[in-house]
Amino acid sequence: MAKPKGVAITGIGRLLRRPWYGWWHFLQRTYSGREYALAIPQGQRIFSPWFASVGGAFPDVLANVREHGRLTVSPDRCYMLYHYAAEAGRRWPAAPMAECGVYTGGTAEVISQAATTATLHLFDSFEGMPAETHPARDYHAPGDFSDTSLGAVQERLKNRACEFHVGFMPDTFAEVAGVKDYSFIHVDVDIYTSVRDCVEYFWPRMAPGGVMIFDDYGFYPYRLAARRAVDEFFDRVPEVVLALPTGQGLVVKDT
């Protein structure tokens, strides 16, 4: 039986993923250290502090995180995470934060360096994508992102105020049943069911004024997965998702 057209295209996309990203990472390195970068397709050079090597704390944080291990999220997205987490930490120094989808721990380290007094709850199976992926909807397949380990991430974050919740979501949410009033949450779980489970659990438990960032919201391969799950949820509540030019989606809890 022939595969559906959409599934076949997704399979081709996965094969091309590494060389495609490799090309863009090479191009990105040409911007390193510059304050202004060419925005495509606008054709304008815009202020891009995530590439700058000086100015504020972020360049040093990014360099430090990269020294400790792999960072698979682009500098512009890390910049958003750092500054929104830092602002949340400033407003609510003792409020809990969370990251769903930890992988190698790079963005967790960015967040924990931004808000040093907050406890960061980390949720991941460290076994890759779960079996619940659907090939016609989800870009990733079971086992993707399994090239990491709990021990390696714990070692990377050993000097940070992090609590690990190991296993598949939403089962591990029971471990934080008594935690509420989160000030900042980063959701980077890629597939529809996991994004849906995260937003349905955490949104009611966020503090007024708290921020939730969805890493995969705006990227084309995730339009039927992460974006659909987010849009379906926020169609039912007053808050609106802001699509950032970084590809992330951002929502602020009404005060």
Residue 129, pLDDT score: 82
Higher per-residue pLDDT: 21 or 190: 190
Q: Rounded CA gap, 141 and 58, in Å? A: 34
Average pLDDT for 126-146: 82
* 72-123 pLDDT tens trace: 999 999 999 999 999 999 999 999 999 999 999 999 999 999 999 999 999 9
pLDDT, averaged across the chain: 90
Q: Rounded CA gap, 20 and 2, in Å? A: 27
The sign of the dihedral angle between the CA atoms of 28, 30, 31, 36 is negative
Q: Two tokens at 165? A: 């919740």
Band of pLDDT at residue 132, cut at 50, 70 and 90: confident
For residue 173, give the DSSP letter. Answer: G
Q: Rounded CA gap, 95 and 118, in Å? A: 6
CA distances in angstroms from 41 to 20, 162, 198, 217, 220, listed in the order given: 18, 40, 33, 20, 16
Identify the top-confidence range among 13-17, 134-138, 194-198: 194-198
Q: Rounded CA gap, 238 and 253, in Å? A: 9
> Taking 80 as the threshold, does the pLDDT of residue 7 lie above it?
no
Give residues with Cβ within 8 angstroms of 94, minimum separation 6: 117, 118
Band of pLDDT at residue 13, cut at 50, 70 and 90: low
Residue 206, pLDDT score: 98
CATH topology classification for 57-252? Rossmann fold (3.40.50)
Q: Rounded CA gap, 99 and 121, in Å? A: 6
Higher per-residue pLDDT: 11 or 108: 108
* 172-217 pLDDT tens trace: 999 999 999 999 999 999 899 999 999 999 999 999 999 999 999 9
> Taking 80 as the threshold, does the pLDDT of residue 239 lie above it?
yes
Q: What's the one-letter identity of residue 184?
A: F
Considering the chain, what percentage of its residues have pLDDT values greater than 90? 71
Q: Rounded CA gap, 156 and 106, in Å? A: 9
* 150-167 pLDDT tens trace: 999 999 999 999 999 999
SS3 of 140-152: the string is CCCCCCCCCCHHH
How far from the centroid of its chain's Cα atoms is residue 156's Cα? 18
